[in-house]
Structure 1
Amino acid sequence: MKQALLAVSFGTSVPRARQDIEAVERVLAAGAPERAFCRAYTSPTIRRILAERGEPVSGLPEALEALAAAGVEDVAVQPTHLLYGFEYDKLKADAAAFAGRFARLALGRPLAADSESLRALAACMVRRFGQPEGGALVLLGHGTEHFANMVYPAMQTALRLAGGRRAYMGTVEGWPGFDEVLAQLKEDGCGQALLVPFMLVAGDHALNDMAGDGPKSWKSRLEAAGVGVRCRMRGLGALPEVQALYGARLREIV
């Protein structure tokens, strides 16, 4: 039986940020060496930008169509998405449309799919980045209007229970937002903050919304509020602990 592993990511147009995706992909490929490895990106915008650069990456339906045409019978689809949200919902629907084309088509869970994963992520963040003297660790996620946004306030609780007394969770497009995080920093007397992207890659959101020089970035707004800021410009995918969590997700379906 011909088998394949399909790693599915949102994607990024930032060349350096692709290293974080590829680091996770290498761990996934090593976890299922008997399977032919391939990738897909779910963002049409990212795929268009990469195609214009001469670096085409398939979408999920196209990748599954190619595998079916090649006679693959068993496909393990492992997303690198962080949480259950609109992107994962679409990914799930796209995969379901191909269920009858393969003898077996298994879809893996996202990274932060349960409380055990959140606790592991929180412990990793606190252990890796700690709490600078007189300062704070501020994780910045994407955020979503989907109910899955509740992962972020849950992560705030997990950080505290992991010993991150001055570790804070914020989002670009969800809740908690900038105002909530700034209020906590002020209340706790934090004059310094380390900003870390709580995203697979340090892509456009990290470069602009988090660390950009424009007045609307978190860095600029925190500095305007009197908080000194340092930024880490690598995504979660660069961390071996996070790569191992993705490897565990894959083992659930192969």
Structure 2
Amino acid sequence: MTKKAILAVSFGTTFPKTREKTIGATERALKKAFPAYDVFRAFTSRIVRARVAKNEGQVFDDPATALDRLSNQGYGEVIVQSFYIIPGIEYGQLKQVVNTYQSKFKKLKLSQPLLDTFDDFQMLTYFMEKQSASLPAGEAILWMGHGTAHSSFTTYACLDHMLAGTKSYVGAVESYPDITDELTRLKHAQIKKVYLQPLMMVAGNHAHNDMASDNPHSWKSIVDANNIDAQPRLKGLGEYPEIQQLFIEKLSKLI
């Protein structure tokens, strides 16, 4: 019988609690949905892997090392499950790694990131709208995306546009639309209180420092300075069963 594995790949995080609430929870959901497959983990960030090894004594593989290990352990079928939100630079690099290892397995496939097709966008915006639907007038959720220099930076603006007329807004830390753009929209909608949430798999460094901290350049500080009450919520997308299910559905199509 062919040994089968799912390799769950993400950027990773140095925050242990959110790691298990998001990445770990999604991995457990995959294992439950696909019991015939062993589930393994890989992080693409060298810095994250180094810091986790130093501070926690845990060693996580990069994708290439993980695929070498799986090949040596006799796995014939491997599905690489990307936990990325957009098909950006990191996803492109992962795709290159997977392509170089095709000859080592009978079957090696890579799933798409969370947002790939129009249906993906529709399902995610439905989820986001649902999170803010019960908020009273004058309150909203501002989702913080990572942003990218890749052409897929348009993902965030597309989500923001698709959510027009709802109580959910989308900005990005490192690209468009930024916090200034979203402040203009929040003020126009006469929002007095906004909940800040990461539009990222984990509530890691960006969520803690760029979103929720008292640093004068954080989104919380900037929003507060514009007379809007900012309430950070440190909950990564991976904590939500609905998001875990979206990854499961992507994996189902490959399997």
Shared fold, TM over 0.5: yes
- The aligned residue for residue 21 of structure 1 is 23
Task: Indicate yes or no: 2:75 matched with 1:69.
Answer: no
Amino acid aligned to 1:48 = A
- The aligned residue for residue 4 of structure 1 is 5
Gaps of 5+ in 1: none
> Any conservation in 1 of the 2:132–2:168 contact (CA below 8 Å)?
no
Distance 2:108 2:182 in 1: 42
- The aligned residue for residue 150 of structure 2 is 146
Instruction: Choose the corresponding residue for 2:141, options 137, 143, 148.
Output: 137
> Any conservation in 2 of the 1:195–1:232 contact (CA below 8 Å)?
yes
Deviations 1:42-81 (A, max 9, x none): 1111100111121111110000000111111111111111
Normalized against structure 1, the TM-score is what? Answer: 0.96
1:95-244 matches, within 5 Å, as 95-130=98-133, 131-160=135-164, 164=166, 166-244=167-245
Amino acid aligned to 1:249 = K
Distance 1:193 1:36 in 2: 41
Gaps of 5+ in 2: none
Q: How many residue pairs are counted as aligned between the two chains?
A: 251
Normalized against structure 2, the TM-score is what? Answer: 0.95
How far is 1:174 from its partner?
0.8
- The alignment's C-alpha RMSD in Å is 1.1
Deviations 1:202-242 (A, max 9, x none): 11100010001110000001101111111111101111111
Q: Secondary structure at the match of 1:26?
A: helix
Structure 1 stretches of 4+ with a deviation exceeding 6 A read none
How far is 1:133 from its partner?
2.4
- The aligned residue for residue 254 of structure 2 is 253
Amino acid aligned to 1:41 = F
Instruction: Choose the corresponding residue for 1:86, options 72, 86, 89.
Output: 89
Amino acid aligned to 1:234 = K
Distance 1:92 1:219 in 2: 35
Distance 2:31 2:254 in 1: 14
How far is 1:129 from its partner?
2.8
Deviations 1:134-172 (A, max 9, x none): 122211100001011111111112223xx61x3211000
Amino acid aligned to 1:237 = G
How far is 1:187 from its partner?
1.6
Distance 2:87 2:96 in 1: 13
